[in-house]
Structures are given as C-alpha cells and as structure tokens.
Chains A and B, each alone.
Chain A
Amino acid sequence: MEKILLRNVDAPESHTLAAYRSRGGYRALEKVAREMSPARVIEEVKASGLRGRGGAGFPTGMKWGFVPKDSPKPKYVVCNADESEPGTFKDRLLIEKDPHAIIEGTIIAAYSIGSHTAFIYIRGELAYASQVLQKAIDESYQAGYLGKSILGTGYDLDVVLHRGAGAYICGEETGLLSSLEGGKGWPKVKPPFPATHGLFGCPTVVNNVETLAALPWIIDQGAAQYAALGTEKSKGTKLFSVSGHIRKPGVYEVEMGYPFKRFLEEDCGGVPNGRHLKGVIPGGASMPVLRADEIGEVRMDYESFQAAGTMLGSGGVIVMDETTCMVKAAWNIARFFAHESCGQCSPCREGCHWMEKIFWRVENGQGESADLDLILNISGNIMGNTICPFGDAAAMPAAAFIKKYRAEFEAHIAEKRCVISASG
C-alpha cells in the first residue's frame, strides 16, 4: 500500500522545508492557490470521504461546510495537536517528522473557509515537537506559504503555534477553544457549535493533526484516488498507534478495512514472550476493550469497530496479554479520567472519582458484591448526560471492562485479593 500520512517520516531531515519540497510538498497548495476556489476545495474534500481523525470521525468537508460564508466576524481554523488520548502517539510523530504536511493542510483548510488566522494548539508537554513545528512555521513564512498574499494570490494567512499546559480535556474541541481564549479548558455547552460560535465567538473549524496532514495528498492526487482506498464509508488510510504487550509497537498507517487480527499478528508481530492475547483497546483508552475472542472478524474501519461494540476513536491500540490484571487496567483508566475530569459538570466530576474509588477497592481486595453492578449503573448515569464527550469517554471503558471480564472482577471480590499475579 502506498503511504499517504507516513510518506515522508522516514526520509532524512524530513522535518525541513527542503526535504518536504523535494518530495512534492506544497504542490497541493500551489494547485489550490492557482486553480481552485474555496468551494471547489471543500467539494474535493467532501468527495474524498475524509473523516475527522481525532476520534469522532465526522466528515471533514461537511464540517467545513457548516461555517457561514457571509459572517462579518473573522473565521478561524484550529489544528488540534493536543494529542493526549492514552495509547495515542501518531500526531506527535507527524509533528516531529512531517510538520510541513500539517502546515500545508492547515493552509488549505483555512483557504477553503476563508480564514486568515489559524492556530495550532499543541499539548504543552511536547516541547521538542513544538520547537520542530515552530521552526517549520518560520520556514513556511520565509518561503511565502504563510503571511501576506500567499503565492501571490492576495490571500493572507497567519499561523500561530499555541502550547497547552497540561490538561487532557483541551483535546475536546470546545475545551481547547476555552483554553486558547485564555481560560481553563472547560468545554462549552452546545449549541452553539464552533462552526458558528467558536473561538472568541467566531466561526471556527477545529481539525485534528492527522486530518489536516492528509489534505495535501488528497488535493495533489485527487479525491478519487483517496476515496478509492478503504471501505464504503471509511475512506483512505488511518494511523494506528500500537502499544502494550506487542512485539513491534509504533505508528502504523493502515488502509481502512484492514483485518484487525492480521494487523496485530502479522504487521505488529503479535504478543511477545510466547504469551496469549487477553484483550485489546482499539481506539485509545476511552474506547471499550475487545476480548481476544472478539477480534477475529473485526476490520479496521469506523463501521466494523462499531459493529464489534467499540470504536475506532483515535486509533490508539493498547494490547494486553494474559498476565494483565483487567481490574487493575480498568482502575488505571478510571484513575486517568478521574484525574483529567475538568470538574465542570456534575455527572463527570462526581462519577469519575466514584468509579475510580470502587475499582481501587476491588483491585485491593475490598470489593463488595454490589460493586460491579454499581459501576455499570454509574457509568450508565454518566453516559450521554454530560457537557462534553469526556463523560462517555470515561463511562464506556469502565463498563466494557466489567462486562467483558466479569468473572475476573468477581474473583477479585470473592477472594478479596488480586487474582492475577503480574502487574498490569
């Protein structure tokens, strides 16, 4: 398969403008600038079938189409580079190795909605990646791809790199906007939606790094080429970050619809040390875990993961072998969400900590028989009732671990100790 997103990352000095250009970089932008109207770009992206790669999978072209064309307010494009979903490290790779693809994609997105200021919100911990990206932005300005009258077209665009400061919730698009506005990363109540009332109340499109990085190839090679890849509803390729008990962890580019089992066993080399697979989280820590016996027919696209009762999410594949204590794994994730809950709305603020406390008790031999149903109930009470998707993100994995590994949880409670010897 031809690589689209990872086409440059292994090239020497791939993060430099020179290397990027020598490999066809900014060709798409030149095409856009010389031949394509904004409406035409949006049509092309719609035709490609590209869907948001941050987790929700919303069609990108459609998202852009929601931005009002006649708004007197400034419009903004925001690149969501706040990669924080446990198990996910694909955006970091792109930022460090192929920053110009992100910048080029950002320019194309901004051009198509008529924005003259774009922000790249990068998580604060990624200091090195920030330096690489800032250098690339500077190079891009010098080459005339950013700033006044880009490529002589009369179209102006500034790109501002903004560092976060440590908060998972800023990956949620309205939390990100609150943070960018100078506040706590509190998600906003919707409606209104960012397309009409986003950053500083102005029309805003927020796109993930991977989404934007796919744009240059789509424009350059044509939407049809992209749409020819993947399945009926999940087009193109997707990056998967693979971690945990796996022989070859790392970032993989996979054509949508690729068999999951084959991916894990062949591409990633399978579970090491002669052990067996116990479970795998396919889409980052906020997605329901799959048991080993559930992955046989699963394919790596939005629909197939959904049919299997989980979601593609961010493509963060966390592999767990038979030595893993699923109670401890569930507690680890519950602790993550309790730590990262912004605290704004009641079900999430109270519910995440409550579940974390119960998981801890069960893992530490203090579980009670009612605890498992209680967690399922709490998780159900959070689901769908919060300001932002964080509530669901915390509730779904908690419920899934119990439903899929109930016997192991019950054994912990019955024996009043962790029944799995190895750490997890």
Chain B
Amino acid sequence: MDLVKLTIDGREVTTTKGRTVIQAAEEAGIAIPHYCYHPKLAIAGNCRMCLVEIEKMPKLQIACNTQVTEGMEVRTQSPKVLQAREAVMEFFLINHPLDCPICDQAGECWLQDYYMQHDLRKSRFIEGKHHDRKREIFGPHVVFDGERCIKCTRCVRFLQEVTRTEELTVVNRGDHSTITLFPGKVLDNPLSANINDICPVGALTDRDFRFRVRVWYLQKTPSICPGCSTGCNISIESYQNRIARFKPRINEEVNSHWICDEGRYCFHALTEVERLASPLIRQEGGLVPTDWQTALGTVVSRLSAAPPAAGVLSGRSTNEEAFLFAKLLKQLSPQARMEVFYRERELTEVERILKSPDRSPNFRGIRDMGVSSDGGFEPLLRELAQGKFSSAYIVAEDLLAQFAAGQELRDALAKLAFLVVQDTHLSETARLAHVVLPATNFAEKEGTYTNRKGRVQRLSPALVPPAGVLQDLEIFGRLLSLAGAPSAPPNSREVFSQIAREVSRYQGLSYERIGTQGVQLET
C-alpha cells in the first residue's frame, strides 16, 4: 500500500494513495464541512461547501474530488476558505424558507449546524423567495419539501447507484431545479427510507418518525436490527421508553450505511403490543394471573412429566438465551427436540441488496448454541402438528399466526399434555398454553446475535421492560435452578463467557472483543 504524506492545517497527515483530501482529513479527525459528498456515493461536487485552499493552486479546490499528493499543503480554515464557506451557506439560505421551528430535521440539520459554525449573519437577501412543492408524498416512507432542498442529489445518486431503481431525478434548470418523481410513480423500493437518512437537510423526512419527537430528546442505543439474519447494525432511538425510530449504524462488513425499510419499521409490530403484566396459568375457565414461583414450578414439574417435549425458540432470542434454553430442555426432557423458528421467502433483486430471506436474525447463533436437532424447523413443526410430542415450550413465536392453515397445528397444540409459551403478549398460540411466561423483546435485552454470515454482534437494551415481566435469560436461569441443574450465570455477559468456554467456535470471544462492530467467526 502506497502511503502519502501531506499537511492539513499545519498538521502532518499520512494516508493511502488514492484517497481524497476530505477522506484524509476525516482520518486525521479534521472535519471538512460538506453536503453532497457521501462516502458511499459517486462524487457530485455540486454543493461547493468543502472548498479548501491548496498550496500552489490559484483557485480553491473541492476537498471531495481532490486526491492527495505527496507534500500537499491543505488549509481548511484560512480566511479565503472561511469566506467561500460563508458564501456557500448564504447561497443555500437565500431561498430557504427558514422554517426551523416546524421542520422535523431541526437538531440534525446540516444547514443549521454549519450556519452556527460559519455564517451567523443577517440575511442580505431581500428579493422574493423561490417557491417549490411542499409536503409532497414521494412514497410510503418519504415526504418531500422542495423549498428546503439544496439539490445535493444524494437521494438521486442513492437511487441510481445503490438500489438502481432511479425513481428520482432533477428536473428543470437554474433555480427552478427541483427533485421529483416521474408523474404517477411512487418511491416504494425496499430501501427507500435511506434517502431520509442521507438527506442533510429537511427536504426528505421520514413519514413514520415525523413530528413524533424532537431529535434532541432521543436516546441512542447501538444494537442489531431484529428484522432478518443480515444483522444490520442500528441505533435504536427512543424517547420515554418507546422506540421512535431505527437509524442505520455504519458497519462496512454488514450493512455499510443502510438498512431496509422492513427492518427499519419492524419495531412497531415487535414492541407495540399489549404487554403481559404477570405469568398466567390455566384453570377451569381459562388463563388467570399467577405468581412467578407457581408458574415456573409448574413448568418444571409438568414439562418433565410429559416427554417427549418440543422446544421452539424465536429467531430473535439471543445466543445467551439459546445457550440456557438448550441446557434447560435437555435437563427437563432428555428426549426433547428443539429448533429455532426459521422460514424463507422469495426476495426481489433490490431486497437482496440487504435482506436475508428469513425473519430470524439469530437463527445461526441459536443453532450454534445447540438448539438444533437434525431435521430443522419444518420437520419439527410437522411432527408437532402430527401429535408426536406430549409437551412443548414455545418462545416468542406465534406459530398459529405464522401459519394460517394451522387448524391441524391448533388441534395438536390444544391436545398437548403441557404447553408453555413465553412471549411479550398474549398471542394466539399463548391462548392455548397451560402456562404463559411474560418476557422481554429485542430492545429490552442485552445479548448477542450471530448473523447469517457468522458475525457475532451485540444487542444493547434500549428500553426498560414493564413491571411484572422477567428477562428471558432470567426465566431460563430460574427454571434451570428449579430443575436441579447447576446454577446459571446471573447475567448475559457472564453467560457469554461460559459460551466462550464451552462452544468451540466462540472460543476466546468476549463482549469487549465484539464491541460495536462485531466479530466474524472462523468458518
């Protein structure tokens, strides 16, 4: 690799040949303001915000399109540069509506941020402002405000280069230029909402998130998307213990800067449910609340009394949970068969850019933890429907809702000697249970997922579970104790340490090593 030495603002910087000034500066922790430049999109060079001074060049140069050369001297803060930057800011703002108080981008708007840094002066523009389309619906997730748009074309380039769906274009010329769809078209490709993320201003905003929370109130938690086994890195952004939105978190090994729309909005279905507030137990006339001790005791005694047992774990369960679940089921019912929920669907070409065909983000890790017999999930389900099991332990999957033609399954579940369902809410499947254990969702727990390609990544709790429920991990731990097994470690981190000792492929791993970017398992 050829290295190049240059100075930026008097600091010596070493970088790789072929890099641009803006990249070299970023590596050195020097932020050069920009709008149109995006590391994953072709260089447009249109915003002119990243103009810098380069020794021996008479004109200012855009840092995004200037490759570093040996001995280059770059100035990003010289009076000439600052003046050009102020000028560009002014050009962007003359026709801008300055409607920050009602703009959803406020607080994460690059116009606001750079104005605070570079302009901060009174407008000299006394002409009538140019008008453009307001609140135009581009698609199910995207709404457009033409007056706030700075024509950086990030959205256009994303749709040309990443999805290759090309729904948007710039039409007209001069200050009549505007971003638009072809008449009659809808922007509904499976990655469409990413353009809201990359829009540096309030021109494209997220219809789902719009006006829900001012962004400065959001609490951000790094985690993993529970939508499928790609394991896209996300930031869970929450407010008052509710998820407000997912944002992609950059991980070049997994999802780069993007997430798919299905993943982005999957938290609604997974978290916005009527939560169970205590364990339930079946009595004459139906399910009634009970205490944890009774519920857990009943599970241990009745499950071990009704072999063979079938165990179904949700694909959203963590490795740590799966590790304990496998131990638990073997302890209670030595002939038990268990599988992680797994089903595939057809994906379109654009979906395949990010999405995996399943909805089980951790199917691979769960199998690694020993929750897998030979046959896989479908045969287990068939046998369950055929009445080949006497008892079952189903975690966080509403099997009846998943399988519409499930009369046979329904009858079979109803006939089981004992059925325990562990979930966040009273699902269709849970209604058939003898014991229902209220547990947590993906956003409430700590743990790890192993994605389809074998990358171990960390989930972090963004929300506090409601009163009356227990963490899945704690439920399994308490059941193990009741079943007479050696006591399980008290928390996820320590369970993972045990995994790292006992599961050969995970040897040597720790939460610290996994960090925020994950660790790839050796194949």
Contact = CB atoms under 8 A, between A and B. Distances in A.
A16 to B, nearest CB: 39
A381 B46 contact: no
A277 interface: no
Nearest to B172: A343
A340 B91 contact: no
A3 B126 CA distance: 53
B45 A387 contact: yes
Interface in B299-318: none
A344 B90 CA distance: 16
Contacts of B91: 346-347, 349-351, 354, 381
Nearest to B128: A357
Nearest to B44: A189
Given A345-B46, A384-B60, A354 B125 contact: yes
A339 B172 CA distance: 10
Nearest to B152: A346
Given A354-B94, A385-B84, A385-B87, A189 B173 contact: no
Contacts of B94: 350, 354
Contact of B45 (A189, A350, A357, A374): A189
Interface in A4-49: none
A344 B178 CA distance: 10
Interface string B176-187: 110000000000
Interface in A343-394: 343-347, 349-354, 357-358, 361, 368, 370, 374, 381, 384-387
B92 interface: yes
Interface residues of A, number: 31
Contact of B59 (A167, A350, A384): A384
Contact of B90 (A338, A370, A381): A381
A342 B62 CA distance: 19
Contacts of A361: 127
A381 B45 CA distance: 17
Interface residues of B, number: 38
Contact of A349 (B58, B65, B151): B151
Contacts of B130: 353
A351 B94 CA distance: 9
Contacts of A191: 65, 67
A353 B175 CA distance: 7
Q: Which residue, of B44, B62, B88, B173, has the highest number of chain A Cβ atoms within 10 A?
A: B173
B44 to A, nearest CB: 7
Contacts of B88: 346-347, 385
Given A189-B62, A358-B127, A384-B59, A349 B87 contact: no
A184 interface: yes
A361 B127 CA distance: 9
A42 B485 CA distance: 89
Contact of B173 (A340, A345, A350): A340
Given A345-B47, A347-B87, A357 B127 contact: yes
Given A340-B174, A346-B150, A354-B94, A385 B60 contact: yes
B95 interface: yes
A374 B51 CA distance: 22
Contacts of B175: 338, 341, 343, 349-350, 352-353
Contact of A381 (B44, B84, B126): B84
B170 interface: yes
B43 interface: yes
Given A189-B62, A381-B84, A384-B60, A346 B174 contact: no
Contacts of A340: 173-174
A165 to B, nearest CB: 12
Given A385-B48, A385-B84, A349 B174 contact: yes
A354 B177 contact: no
Contacts of A344: 46, 151, 177
A343 B173 contact: yes
Contacts of A346: 46-49, 88, 91-92, 150-151
B78 to A, nearest CB: 14
A343 B87 contact: no
B174 A342 contact: yes
Interface centre among A340, A349, A387 (most CB of B within 10 A): A349
B312 to A, nearest CB: 55
Nearest to A344: B46
B33 to A, nearest CB: 13
A349 B95 CA distance: 11
Interface string B111-131: 000000000000011111010
A351 B48 CA distance: 13
24 contacts: A189-B45, A189-B65, A338-B174, A338-B175, A339-B173, A343-B175, A343-B176, A345-B45, A345-B47, A346-B47, A346-B91, A346-B92, A346-B151, A349-B151, A350-B91, A350-B92, A350-B94, A354-B91, A370-B124, A381-B87, A385-B51, A386-B48, A387-B45, A387-B48
Interface of B: 43-49, 51, 58-60, 62, 65, 67, 83-84, 87-88, 90-92, 94-95, 124-128, 130, 150-151, 170, 172-177
Given A345-B47, A358-B127, A385-B59, 7 more contacts: A167-B173, A343-B177, A344-B151, A345-B45, A349-B151, A354-B127, A381-B90
